[in-house]
A and B are shown apart, each in its own frame.
Chain A
Amino acid sequence: MTSFPEGFLWGAATAGHQVEGGNINADLWPLEWSANSNFNEPSGDACDHYHRYAEDISLLSDLGLNAYRFSLEWSRIEPEPGYFSHAALDHYRRMLETCLNLGVTPVVTYNHFTLPRWMAAGGGWSSEQAPARFARYASRVTQHLGDLLSWVCTLNEPNLMSMLENTGVLAMGAGERGPAAKPSGSGSPGIGGFDPARYRMGLLAADVERMAAAHRGAVQAIKSTAENVKVGWTVALVDLQAAEGGEERCGEARRRGQTDWLGVSGQDDFVGVQTYSRSRIGPAGTVPPPAGIPTMQTGWEVYPDALGHTVRLAAEHANVPVLVTENGMATDDDEARIAYTRAALEGLAGCLDDGIDVRGYIHWTLLDNFEWTSGYSKTFGLISVDRETFARTIKPSARWLGHVALRNDLH
């Protein structure tokens, strides 16, 4: 079977800091500019999606896609602790209205890595106050936007640090130079009491209990205001495979870095699956891909089967409906992107054939964007963006995916 269920969500994803531009009050902004920054370049204007979202959502809709995953920037909505910006919430309300007016289902991530500077200064997710802070934020957001929401992802890839600790492998978000920013010298842009040397991407805690508490508090805050909204979190699922002699190590890494986190989703309405590639684990840790095999711009093996494999893993361990919230390929060869995505979708169709409840496929990403420490060099987008005029150019892969979406069928 290559056709998909009625009502299947076909979408593309973005994240605020990676596309909006001018996200000055976020923790990452000063790190991007600090001396000895680990970022290849600063995010700057990004894709100016903050002002051009209506054009982008129209493009997505015109292509034939029916879902748009985007994130809310906490640092805009709560620029100072306990002070919530109605103006920022109104901005995101206009984004949601734009989606709904075009018949596009919004899939909204409440937090996609970046934190307000004050939250980072207060220890980020490792602070004991983090769950309460996130719940307060989630509550205010839902009060303002809840009537327009249908799918919410609380946290994006909360297992990222855990994956790194247990495998040495990072999924999206870290780039090839690792997640830690080097300490900045004096005279760097001030962050206000926050030590950049302690920074980790999203200041995520590797501790599943801590992150689950933050998630659970947010779910409760959201459901108490908007009970019909489907809520889950999205898990970074590199397809971990045992290399020779690595069975035990791989199993342990999969458990601690992935399935413990998928278990948290057992109480949710869905689990978000985010996957790009595989990684093979030997007795001493990650085994690099053999020389000569095709890789993405990120250095990851081109391995579309990861999607079917990890959707099965998620369904088995979370036992709730699956929404693919990210999958894609960093490449400047758009034909390769189509081939990758077609193969990944074949794997996904196989999951559906086997009775797994998959609700949608959201491609990473709508626009070539700011890929964290890698800057703008890694192009995952269905649409390219001129860095000075912000002009959008639709790639053939975008039209291809739009056709699949419109036919709701791969062939």
Chain B
Amino acid sequence: MTRSETAARRSPEGFRWGAATAGHQIEGNNVNSDLWFLENIEPTIFVERSGDACDSYHRYEDDVAFAAGLGLNSYRFSIEWARIEPTRGRFSIAELDHYKRVIECCQAHDVAPAVTFVHGAAPRWFAQDGGWLNPDAPALFARYCSTAAKALADGMVFAFTINEPQVGKVFRCIPGAEGYFSAQDPLSLRAHAAAAKMVNTERFVTTDHPDLDGMTPQLIAGHEQGYAAIKAEKSDLPVGVTLSVTDFQPGGAGSPFEEVRTGAYGEWLDAISRAGDFTGVQSYRTVRIPGSGEEYEPLPPLPFTDPHDRLAALQRPEALRNTVEYVYACTNKPVVVTENGLETEDDVRRVWFIGEALSGLLDAIEGGVPVLGYFHWSLIDNFEWTRGYAPKFGLASVDRRTFARTPKPSAARLGAIARSNSLPGGL
């Protein structure tokens, strides 16, 4: 039986269909953040500054209405620590009120808010105090989580403590990444040193700092303490951490891919077993780890994809199913797909990708994995960190001067799936 002969395949009742964004990437003018500072310093690791981004700080209602209009019933966004706690220990009621309005806006549009507490950017003072290398970092983060949750948790459907705390480790596991990081790491260290000098502090440490081993214990403790702080405010709110999960597969006989997985996720999967109501899975790519023995046949080429574009060829839709199944097998906890998407200028590829990835996700669900929701990255084209605005992940494009949003065909594709809560049979 081929796919075209199957009936529509339904996702579970109450499934959360959404799209995702992050504050620093869409709000604009996050001037009190550590990353803004790194974007505006010499040398810089950023190809351009975030600047106005998508002006979602003022235009959040456009974003929420866009998601709602598509038929999505949830929206993942982040609150910005740098706005809420502009000075260490002093919280802004005005900014908490702002995010309360964002949450109320979601509710008014029947879109359930799924909220990340820290997504990439931290306050500048946090970086000046050593960032996640600071032994006090977990307690500082937990205090922020407690204050934010007290004001905002009531409206949330999911809370996420830290976004992709191990993404740097994952990227370093990708064969061929050494060349990139051997150039990027020294530049990053120089940029961080320049920032420290500029503000006359000993250190300036952001999540882009290359000392990943030094930061990881504090990040794990930060998640655990942040989890406890949010749960203390609202015990029935599902809280978790969102992991960058690459679908590492064997590329040949004797591949150490399982060791690679353990290195990239093991300590975090352990942390989730201690503190986490689900695992947030962020899945984009399949990466084969070569073995000592015979090389396997290449994976079948992807439609609509230039086979010579090495990075595009990694962005395989089956990565979603594989990573969701892997993470569930390790944790035995429900999964929320908090990010999945495709970097492409060609929206035809995105339309295809969404159907394929979700078909695989339904395979996983039918195979018994409790998946609570799917959030596509991203609702709108945005500031993709050091790479600036060039990478296009959005379901809508954004005019960088007028901030007008223009939906792409892929938006209608995801919306139709969400509205029917099912994948049509004819994929």
Given the contacts A21-B92, A44-B92, A187-B201, A85 and B52 also touching, CB distance less than 8 Å? yes
In-complex Cβ contact of A390 among B87, B90, B94 (8 A): B94
A215 to B321, CA, bound (A): 64
Instruction: Check A87–B40 contact: CB distance below 8 A.
Output: no
Looking at the assembled complex, report how far the CB atom of B385 sits from the nearest CB atom of chain A, in whole angstroms. 18
Given the contacts A76-B29, A192-B199, A86 and B52 also touching, CB distance less than 8 Å? yes
A88 at the interface (CB under 8 A from B): yes
Instruction: Check B51–A22 contact: CB distance below 8 A.
Output: no
A388 to B98, CA, bound (A): 14
B128 at the interface (CB under 8 A from A): yes
Looking at the assembled complex, report how far the CB atom of B62 sits from the nearest CB atom of chain A, in whole angstroms. 13
Instruction: Check A87–B28 contact: CB distance below 8 A.
Output: yes
A25 at the interface (CB under 8 A from B): yes
In the complex, what residues of B have CB within 8 A of residue A292's CB? none
Looking at the assembled complex, report how far the CB atom of B151 sits from the nearest CB atom of chain A, in whole angstroms. 12
A24 at the interface (CB under 8 A from B): yes
B57 at the interface (CB under 8 A from A): yes
Q: How many residues of A contact B (CB 8 A)?
A: 30
Looking at the assembled complex, report how far the CB atom of B373 sits from the nearest CB atom of chain A, in whole angstroms. 30
Looking at the assembled complex, report how far the CB atom of B426 sits from the nearest CB atom of chain A, in whole angstroms. 43
Given the contacts A22-B83, A76-B29, A187-B201, A44 and B90 also touching, CB distance less than 8 Å? yes
Instruction: Check A87–B403 contact: CB distance below 8 A.
Output: yes
Instruction: Check B58–A87 contact: CB distance below 8 A.
Output: yes
Looking at the assembled complex, report how far the CB atom of A72 sits from the nearest CB atom of chain B, in whole angstroms. 15
A179 to B57, CA, bound (A): 34
Q: How many residues of B contact A (CB 8 A)?
A: 30
Looking at the assembled complex, report how far the CB atom of B111 sits from the nearest CB atom of chain A, in whole angstroms. 21
Looking at the assembled complex, report how far the CB atom of B37 sits from the nearest CB atom of chain A, in whole angstroms. 8
Looking at the assembled complex, report how far the CB atom of B411 sits from the nearest CB atom of chain A, in whole angstroms. 23
A388 to B151, CA, bound (A): 13
In the complex, what residues of B have CB within 8 A of residue A390's CB? 93-94, 97
> Most chain-A CB neighbours within 10 Å: which of B57, B86, B201?
B86
Instruction: Check A190–B198 contact: CB distance below 8 A.
Output: yes
Q: Which residues in chain A, 77-91, are within 8 Å of chain B measured between CB atoms?
A: 79-80, 83, 85-88, 90-91
Q: Which residues in chain A, 187-207, are within 8 Å of chain B measured between CB atoms?
A: 187, 189-193
In the complex, what residues of A have CB within 8 A of residue B87's CB? 33, 42, 189
In the complex, what residues of B have CB within 8 A of residue A186's CB? 200
The residue of chain B having its C-beta at the shortest distance from the C-beta of A33 within the complex is B87
In the complex, what residues of B have CB within 8 A of residue A86's CB? 52, 55, 401, 403
In the complex, what residues of B have CB within 8 A of residue A85's CB? 28-29, 51-52
Looking at the assembled complex, report how far the CB atom of A122 sits from the nearest CB atom of chain B, in whole angstroms. 14
Of A45-53, A166-174, A322-330, A366-374, the segment with at least 4 beta carbons within 8 Å of chain B is A45-53
Q: Which residues in chain B, 97-136, are within 8 Å of chain A measured between CB atoms?
A: 97-98, 124-125, 128
Instruction: Check B94–A48 contact: CB distance below 8 A.
Output: yes
Instruction: Check B97–A79 contact: CB distance below 8 A.
Output: no
In the complex, what residues of B have CB within 8 A of residue A22's CB? 83, 86, 92, 94-95
The residue of chain A having its C-beta at the shortest distance from the C-beta of B129 within the complex is A187
Looking at the assembled complex, report how far the CB atom of A28 sits from the nearest CB atom of chain B, in whole angstroms. 13
In the complex, what residues of B have CB within 8 A of residue A25's CB? 31-32
Q: Which residues in chain B, 19-70, are within 8 Å of chain A measured between CB atoms?
A: 28-29, 31-32, 40, 49, 51-52, 55, 57-58
B185-206 CB mask vs A (1 if < 8 Å, else 0) is 0000000000000111100000
Instruction: Check B55–A87 contact: CB distance below 8 A.
Output: yes
B157-188 CB mask vs A (1 if < 8 Å, else 0) is 00000000000000000000000000000000
In the complex, what residues of B have CB within 8 A of residue A80's CB? 40, 49
Q: Which residues in chain A, 3-62, are within 8 Å of chain B measured between CB atoms?
A: 21-22, 24-25, 33, 42, 44-45, 48, 50-51
In the complex, what residues of A have CB within 8 A of residue B199's CB? 189-192
In the complex, what residues of B have CB within 8 A of residue A388's CB? 93
In the complex, what residues of A have CB within 8 A of residue B93's CB? 45, 48, 388, 390
B276-301 CB mask vs A (1 if < 8 Å, else 0) is 00000000000000000000000000
Instruction: Check A193–B198 contact: CB distance below 8 A.
Output: yes
Instruction: Check A24–B32 contact: CB distance below 8 A.
Output: yes
Instruction: Check B55–A90 contact: CB distance below 8 A.
Output: yes
Looking at the assembled complex, report how far the CB atom of B136 sits from the nearest CB atom of chain A, in whole angstroms. 14
A45 to B32, CA, bound (A): 14
A193 to B55, CA, bound (A): 29
Given the contacts A51-B97, A189-B125, A190-B199, A24 and B31 also touching, CB distance less than 8 Å? yes
Instruction: Check A24–B86 contact: CB distance below 8 A.
Output: yes
In the complex, what residues of A have CB within 8 A of residue B92's CB? 21-22, 44-45
Instruction: Check B94–A87 contact: CB distance below 8 A.
Output: no
In the complex, what residues of B have CB within 8 A of residue A190's CB? 124, 128, 198-201
A80 to B31, CA, bound (A): 9
Looking at the assembled complex, report how far the CB atom of B20 sits from the nearest CB atom of chain A, in whole angstroms. 21
The residue of chain A having its C-beta at the shortest distance from the C-beta of B36 within the complex is A79
Looking at the assembled complex, report how far the CB atom of B320 sits from the nearest CB atom of chain A, in whole angstroms. 34
Given the contacts A91-B58, A193-B198, A51 and B98 also touching, CB distance less than 8 Å? yes
Looking at the assembled complex, report how far the CB atom of A81 sits from the nearest CB atom of chain B, in whole angstroms. 9
Instruction: Check A45–B29 contact: CB distance below 8 A.
Output: no
Looking at the assembled complex, report how far the CB atom of A82 sits from the nearest CB atom of chain B, in whole angstroms. 11
The residue of chain B having its C-beta at the shortest distance from the C-beta of A190 within the complex is B199
In the complex, what residues of A have CB within 8 A of residue B128's CB? 189-190
In the complex, what residues of A have CB within 8 A of residue B28's CB? 85, 87
A390 to B92, CA, bound (A): 12
A330-353 CB mask vs B (1 if < 8 Å, else 0) is 000000000000000000000000
Looking at the assembled complex, report how far the CB atom of A390 sits from the nearest CB atom of chain B, in whole angstroms. 7
The residue of chain B having its C-beta at the shortest distance from the C-beta of A20 within the complex is B94
In the complex, what residues of B have CB within 8 A of residue A90's CB? 55, 58, 403
Given the contacts A86-B401, A87-B58, A193-B198, A45 and B51 also touching, CB distance less than 8 Å? no
A86 to B55, CA, bound (A): 9
Looking at the assembled complex, report how far the CB atom of B76 sits from the nearest CB atom of chain A, in whole angstroms. 22
A90 to B125, CA, bound (A): 29
The residue of chain A having its C-beta at the shortest distance from the C-beta of B197 within the complex is A193
- Could you name 20 residue pairs across A and B whose Cβ atoms are closer than 8 Å? A22-B94, A24-B31, A24-B32, A45-B93, A45-B95, A48-B93, A51-B94, A80-B40, A85-B28, A85-B29, A86-B401, A87-B58, A91-B58, A186-B200, A189-B128, A190-B199, A191-B199, A193-B198, A390-B93, A390-B94
Q: Which 7 A-B pairs have the closest CB atoms?
A: A190-B199, A45-B94, A87-B55, A48-B94, A87-B52, A25-B31, A24-B32
Apart from A44-B90, A44-B92, what 8 extra A-B contacts exist at CB < 8 Å?
A22-B95, A45-B94, A48-B93, A86-B52, A187-B201, A189-B87, A192-B198, A388-B93
